[in-house]
Amino acid sequence: MKKSREPFRFFDRVHLTELTGIKAKNLKELVDILKNAPDSIVYYHTHHFLEEHHYLTPEPANDFAVWVSAILGDEVLGEKLASINAFEFPALGALRERIVNVMGEYISSGQELRKAPEGREFYFMKWVSVILPTPYAARDLREFVEALRKLSLGSLYFHIFESRLRLGKVTNDFSVWMKDSLEEQELAEAIEKVDPYTYTLEGVRSQLIKLIERRIK
Amino acid sequence: MKLSDYEPIVGKGSIEELSLLASKLSGKVIQNINSTFTGGGVAEILSRMVPLLSELGVDARWSVIKGDLAFFEVTKKLHNALHGREEKISPRDISVFQETSRKNIKELELYGDIIFVHDPQPVALVERKKELGKNWIWRCHIDVSSPNETAWNFIKPWVTQYDAAVFSAPAFSTPLPIRQFLISPSIDPLSDKNRELSQDIIDSVLSKYDIPSDKPLIVQVSRFDYLKDPVGVIQAFKQVRRSIDCRLVLAGGTATDDPESGKVLAEVQDKAEGNRDIQILVLPPGSDIEINALQRAATVVVQKSLKEGFALTVSEALWKAKPVVASAVGGIPLQVKNKFTGLLSHGIEGTAYAIKQLLGNPEYAKWLGQNGREHVKHNFLITRHVKDYMVLFLTLGRPEEIIYL
């Protein structure tokens, strides 16, 4: 089994939710604020539920879709927003553009804009991420899969989602290491293809373990 | 309780994460300050939180301000007004608040590197920030989403002197010149109020309060406070009772900083008089096992508050896998995701309708309850709360959005 010169070091990520004090009471306000909001706000509202509700199958949709459906009572637009697949977007800017476009088209179509009741407005929030080293490291696939079993969900989340979308890497950290350090091109690509948005976090872990174990055998 | 006791519930990874964060806070003293050591959710959380932080090696301490009955009557008014209730805050009230605050500012020893002030009662202590420096955090546990303007404008000049404010629900935030964070409070799964109980203990509590197990039981556990709407619960119950035979138990205690609860209790007892299916239980402090048993004995748990901070009684009920009907106020929508982890209601009729849905569909009620328990396990247990506070302490003075430690 090939060993890498530099071990893969696992990091953990914990986060704190920061409130902006900004809120929208209808779709027009939502889209106007979103257009100029920092990436950290887009990231929070399209990802936080993946951690908070990771036990629910199916997982609830992104915050924009949930608010439009449940609070504004517009299930058609809600469905359109829920079906935007974040996995297809290489960066948060492109994801934001898609969301803004879907909302913009709806507003242009002249649909009646409903107002959220007081207290149920859309509250804009963002994440402050704190990245910490963990004691886990791996030089080969066997060590890697053993560590993968023990990782906190925050750690798994960091290497899969955060590194790609927030730290601007092309793909997830695991695939990068497997390609560059172990020359495991095929496995790296198979891991890249696992859409983390369609599984719970534990489901992602199981998929990765399965792929790596198959390779080790 | 020891941290290792939580490992079977939250997993080894979560406990290791706490130790890692704690190691980064070495040498810092965290001084929590509130208005009472006993009664109410804040004191309950601190009494659990401080020992756990200490075990992790974080030097966390707890001080309380001093105040007489007149001061607490004013702070109760202020509390209600910040929740949006119409209250007349007189110049005399303002002078009572200022006078007591002045005494506390003078007498309370402020030794923390991080001064963590809870709720409005001690808010004025921040006047010493200029002299002492340090990091100051104001932790607001109440719903300030639509406050009485006079009350909010009264405390705002103090709030804006803090380095950061922490709220329990997104709707409580408002544009402020300081950073604001969202941290949900939590319950302790190993406390007497939440730990597993044997059926014998549950039965003995029911027998102690003469509650027969012959019918479905609807329970609301709350202080006797207008904002918890106990009278509204009785009205909703009476609507349910027209078509489904069931019982209602309203159980609550009192807190040392709430002089109004006696009046509310008298009104509730009056409304319930003559109805043998309604029982009003006034529980003395320390009745945690009794509350636990009542929640576990409930068929449906209700929290029909008009305003809420976070409503930890909802977390308690969800942790016991109980189907919950609760108002969509304060932090409740964070806990009750409608039709996923419970049912949200908006009025007396809606509450009655939701209770009937649950009593009539036990399988659905069970599914909601189980989802509710999972939701609390991942988001509202004390270990997550300890983690959030440590991250908050580590974030102070760091403006960047991604922090490497």
Question: pLDDT of B80-126, one tens digit each?
Answer: 999 888 899 999 999 999 999 999 999 999 999 999 999 999 999 99
pLDDT score, position A168:
73
Residue B259: pLDDT over 90: no
pTM: 0.87
A20/chain B closest Cα distance in angstroms:
7
What number of other Cβ atoms are within 10 A of residue B311's Cβ? Answer: 29
Indicate the average pLDDT of chain A: 90
Provide the mean pLDDT of chain B: 93
Residue contacts between A and B (CB atoms, under 8 Å): 107
Q: How far is A186 from chain B (nearest CA, A)?
A: 30
| Chain B touched by A134 (CB under 8 Å) | yes
**pLDDT at residue B145, as a whole number:** 85
Kindly write down the DSSP assignment for every residue of B10-34, as one continuous string.
H-HHHHHHHHHHHHTTTT-EEEEEE
Q: How far is CA B260 from CA A57, B151, B255, in A?
A: 45, 18, 10
Percent of chain A with pLDDT over 90: 66
Residues B333 and A117 sit within 8 Å (Cβ to Cβ): no
pLDDT 10s digits, A134-155: 889 999 999 999 999 988 888 9
In this prediction, residue A161 carries a pLDDT of 87
Contact B181 A150 (CB under 8 A): no
Residues of B in contact with A54 (CB under 8 A): 378
Contact map slice: A 22-41 vs B, CB within 8 A: 22, 40
Looking at residue A86, what is its pLDDT?
A: 85
Contact list in A for residue B168 (CB cut-off 8 A) is: none
- C-alpha to C-alpha distances, B91 to B97, B122, B297, nearest whole angstrom: 10, 19, 48
pLDDT exceeding 90 applies to what percent of chain B? Answer: 80
* Contact flag B340-A60 (C-beta cutoff 8 Å): yes
Three-class DSSP category at B88: coil
Residue A12 in contact with partner chain B when CB distance is under 8 A: yes
Most confident of A1-15, B50-64, B140-154, B255-269: B50-64
Asked if ipTM goes beyond 0.90, one says no
pLDDT band at B343 (very low <50, low <70, confident <90, very high): very high
Model confidence at B41, pLDDT cuts 50, 70, 90, reads confident
Percent of chain B at pLDDT above 70? 99
**Which H/E stretch holds residue A15?**
strand A8-24
The mean pLDDT value for A30-35 works out to 97
Using the Cβ of B266 and the Cβ atoms of chain A, whether some distance falls under 8 Å is answered with no
Mean pLDDT of B35-39: 86
Does B179 contact A at CB distance below 8 Å?
A: yes
Compute the average pLDDT of residues A82-106.
91
Residues recorded for chain B: 405
B-chain CB neighbours of A120 within 8 Å are: 171, 328, 333
| Segment 148-167 of chain A within 8 Å of chain B by CB | 150-155, 166-167
Q: Does B183 touch chain A (CB under 8 A)?
A: yes
pLDDT at residue A170, as a whole number: 78
pLDDT value of position A152: 84
Out of A125, A132, A152, name the one closest to residue B14 (CB).
A152
| Res B264 pLDDT > 80 | yes
Q: Which strands, in side-by-side order, build the sheet including B343-345?
A: B278-282, B247-252, B217-221, B300-303, B324-327, B343-345
A122-138 vs A8-24, strand pairing mode: antiparallel
Contact A158, A13 (CB under 8 A): yes
* Residue B164 to residue B396: CA distance in whole angstroms: 8
Record the tokens describing residue B133, joined without a space. 């420096």
Query: Residue A196: its pLDDT value, please?
Result: 86
Which among B278, B234, B245 is positioned nearest to B356, based on CA atoms? B245
Note the pLDDT of residue A55. Answer: 63
Query: Do B329 and A129 count as a contact with CB atoms less than 8 A apart?
Result: no
Position B331 pLDDT exceeds 80 = yes
Whole-Å CA distances, B72 to B45, B75, B286, B348: 20, 5, 22, 31
Per-residue pLDDT tens for B159-195?
999 999 999 989 888 889 999 999 998 999 999 999 9
pLDDT tens, position by position, B195-232: 999 999 999 999 999 999 999 999 999 989 888 999 99
CA gap B280, B302 in Å, rounded = 14
Please judge whether B173 and A55 are an interchain contact, meaning their C-beta atoms are less than 8 angstroms apart: no
**Segment A57-92, tens digit of pLDDT:** 656 678 999 999 989 999 999 999 999 988 888 888
Interface test with A, best of B385, B401, B405 (most A CBs within 10 A): B401
Q: What is the pLDDT of residue B11?
A: 86
Structure tokens at A136: 């886990």
Residue A198 pLDDT grade (very low, low, confident, very high; cuts 50, 70, 90):
confident
